[in-house]
Structure 1
């Protein structure tokens, strides 16, 4: 199963694994992308210029490594990356011009991004979490609008805006689960919006409004499921969360307890590999027939958490596996604090571990939309 293979690759990466040597998916359908116009001569010339907003996130990190590759369609690519935090040491080798910027501040966004007149493609792969969905709509709409208002007017050659949302487009926000009737799977991209607050809808509306102000700019929306990839800075970083959680259980001699419900444990689930999501987003940017559309994206395989859990336990040498039901986010949070303390939670690495382990709340609900 693809999900299990991804977990094994993450835990035991082969020495030869390199995204610069990857083969492109749907290569036979990328004929239009490969027929590039002649790039201007001279060293350091680029055909396309990407702005990745959320460059240290799971998919942002994949985009930052894939776009500069010599075989990437639409290239050669120059890449800017925007994130709120200072550039982390694990990101230093990415060939990206890094810009630290808080895009929730319009003045700061305009000041720090005012020189990006050469941007041709915007990849918006970030989000902010607040206490409720109404606040999520407010802050995420503000951030995206600030970014577009700062860049779209000055980027004279802007061609495409890529927006990443997700499966909550069809099932609604976590806080509203069971409080309204969501769509039933399988989900198609043309399903109507749910009658509930959803910051994904806010982001789409902002994009449609701002893109319409500039003639010739196209867009695409990408809706992955739970994403398997790498980034210590993402609250949705399930793979690293699982690894940290398993290490804690091994350290304490405790069983590997599944933090979700029995329904999630037994039902079928799907996942989206971060590299695959990034590749689809790049494809949609350079393929004319993909423009102005929304796309679901997952690995095309199904798995059960109870199968993945056994693989995880074996990788960390944990003999006992158990499942608990009826646990909520607050219970997980309290257990996280206790477990981090047992590993020395006051160390210099504690903030990163905190981010990683707290993504475990996603497992509580991940099985309900499979």
Structure 2
């Protein structure tokens, strides 16, 4: 039975030790977003394994100290004509063993359009293609979902979701080329990246800073249900480690939930956030024996379609 060596890096433990792979080339799309930024950081930790990391995005990633030596940026907009994209990549000699696809946009659906990857599908034939989608795969943005959320759950089709045509396109592409695919689905993602504000940590930090300036306590803006509800989020760095593993050692043609296994409730987290800023905190109002709250969504399977 093979033995897997593991290692620790900072607060991250049980990370696999890779011994065989060397001299690999990777493409990271959306490299200036939260997920792509941390993917670049993780891959650049081992320049022997990843000799060339090609970052495709409209703007270069903003890393402290500049781009790693084993990486390069190519300005590329996946909403351009496919021929224009192909011309740019061919001029730069772009080939890759693995693709990490993070480009994120939800344009109004067009008839016959399968999404932004369709503009680049014929340019490369990697060994493995990793597509990151997310918890919206389960319809969490539309209302309550069945739990546990499992990768084999049926699609939620109450409204268009660009994850699904992307998945179909990647599956079709991989069947035609023999490339393996992996789809990773994190929960709400936390990370610190310039110009990438789709991140729960940023508005919370701004709110706490304003409270500090005004000399006010950090008041929780929700009800008792939100205060005590279990929350699950995804660390950008841990997510990137998981996605590196998925293409190097994970079986092909598999979907993975990649949410951290460290659930929390604001009831315990909120006082700690306040403490980081030297603030008192206020939880939900508790001066009444009974409270009435109006939920944002109707119970699952009842009532009209949510908006």
TM-score range (shorter-chain normalised) is: 0.7 to 0.9
Q: 1:267 to 1:65 in 2, by over 3 A?
A: same
**Aligned with 1:34 (options 19, 30, 53):** 19
Q: Which residue of 1 aligns with 2:299?
A: none
2:168 aligned with 1:205, yes or no? Answer: yes
Q: 1:102 to 1:203 in 2, by over 3 A?
A: same
| Higher mean C-alpha displacement, 312-321 vs 259-268 | 259-268
Name the CA distance, whole Å, in 2 between partners of 1:82 and 1:208: 22
Q: Which runs of 5+ in 1 are unaligned?
A: 1-18, 40-46, 329-370
Q: Counterpart of 1:98 in 2: which secondary structure? A: strand
**Aligned with 2:233 (options 271, 274, 278):** 271
How far residue 138 of structure 1 moved from its aligned partner, in angstroms, is 7.9
**Aligned with 1:231 (options 193, 199, 205):** 193
Name the CA distance, whole Å, in 2 between partners of 1:307 and 1:21: 24
Q: Counterpart of 2:256 in 1: which secondary structure? A: strand
Name the CA distance, whole Å, in 2 between partners of 1:89 and 1:26: 23
How far residue 90 of structure 1 moved from its aligned partner, in angstroms, is 4.3
Q: Which residue of 2 aligns with 1:112?
A: 88
Q: Which residue of 2 aligns with 1:49?
A: 25
How far residue 110 of structure 1 moved from its aligned partner, in angstroms, is 2.1
Q: Which residue of 2 aligns with 1:79?
A: 53
How far residue 248 of structure 1 moved from its aligned partner, in angstroms, is 2.0
Q: 1:23 to 1:169 in 2, by over 3 A?
A: closer
Q: 1:60 to 1:306 in 2, by over 3 A?
A: same
Name the CA distance, whole Å, in 2 between partners of 1:116 and 1:230: 32
Q: How many equivalent pairs are there?
A: 278
2:2 aligned with 1:25, yes or no? Answer: no
How far residue 136 of structure 1 moved from its aligned partner, in angstroms, is 6.2
| CA RMSD, 1 decimal | 3.1
Decide which structure has greater helix share: 1
Q: How does 1:212-223 map to 2 (within 5 A)?
A: 212-214=175-177, 216-223=178-185
Q: Counterpart of 1:25 in 2: which secondary structure? A: strand
Q: Which residue of 1 aligns with 2:305?
A: none
Q: 2:27–2:100: 8 Å Cα contact kept in structure 1?
A: yes
Q: Which residue of 2 aligns with 1:243?
A: 205
Q: Counterpart of 1:161 in 2: which secondary structure? A: strand
Q: 1:268 to 1:295 in 2, by over 3 A?
A: same
How far residue 259 of structure 1 moved from its aligned partner, in angstroms, is 4.1
2:148 aligned with 1:163, yes or no? Answer: no
Q: 1:54 to 1:24 in 2, by over 3 A?
A: farther
TM-score (norm 2): 0.79
Q: 1:262 to 1:79 in 2, by over 3 A?
A: same
